[in-house]
């Protein structure tokens, strides 16, 4: 039996069976290695960490290539402070610019610059190739549909009110990963 610090004995826990434990650990390893692989490829080929690439990609798909920092943080599922750090580096590199709109001095916006668009355009083909290599090339079409259904089922439990942004196809844009 296991005890928590409050002294309550947890005996009614539906522990994972061996198959579930194996699946859970395999899933965690795959997600971790997937992110690491994407980050390595982007850093090697374009000098961008995966998180910075995602900032540029989200801005490229936004109307007028700009979003509020709050909206961008929400899309990226990032804390405002973590995004602020990334935005400062991207701004120093001339890939985005931050600004406030007249009449709304409280809200900071991030906008993709022309240089940022060029960097993203140069990085995207290698990134998409890596996504294909590590995910889609190893799955058959039925498994891709199953993976989508699994992710949707998980989102249904993790975000039943659908408060988190879901994938939308902004203006038919594809291929940014």
How do the domains of the chain map onto residue ranges?
16-158
Per CATH, domain 16-158 is 1.10.10.10: yes
Burial group, residue 5, by CB count within 10 angstroms (0-12, 13-18, 19+): exposed
Average model confidence (pLDDT) for the chain? Answer: 89
Tokens 């971790």, located at residue: 32
Beta strands in 29-176 (DSSP E): 66-68, 96-101, 104-112
- Give me the mean pLDDT over the 23-50 stretch: 96
pTM (whole model) above 0.85: no
Does residue 130 sit in helix, strand or coil? helix
| pLDDT tens digits, one per residue of 10-20 | 568 999 999 99
Q: How confident is the model at residue 133 (pLDDT cuts 50, 70, 90)?
A: very high
* Statement: residue 164 has pLDDT above 70: yes
Rounded to an integer, what distance in angstroms lies between the CA atom of residue 104 and that of residue 121? Answer: 31
């Amino acid at each position: 039996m296991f005890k928590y610090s409050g002294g309550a004995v947890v005996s009614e826990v539906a522990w994972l069976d061996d198959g579930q434990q194996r699946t859970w650990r395999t899933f965690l390893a795959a997600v971790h290695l997937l992110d690491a692989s994407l980050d390595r490829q982007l850093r090697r080929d374009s000098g961008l960490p995966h998180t910075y690439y995602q900032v540029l990609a989200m801005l490229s798909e936004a109307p007028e290539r700009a979003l509020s920092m709050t909206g961008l943080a929400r899309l990226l599922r990032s804390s405002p402070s973590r995004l602020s750090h990334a935005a400062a580096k991207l701004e120093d590199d001339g890939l985005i610019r931050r600004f406030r709109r007249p009449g709304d001095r409280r809200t900071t916006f991030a906008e993709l610059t022309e240089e940022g668009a060029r960097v993203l355009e140069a990085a995207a083909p290698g990134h998409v190739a890596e996504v294909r290599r590590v995910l889609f090339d190893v799955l058959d079409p039925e498994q891709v549909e199953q993976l989508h259904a699994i992710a949707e089922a998980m989102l249904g439990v993790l975000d039943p009110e659908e408060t988190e942004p879901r994938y939308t196809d902004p203006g038919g844009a594809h291929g940014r990963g």
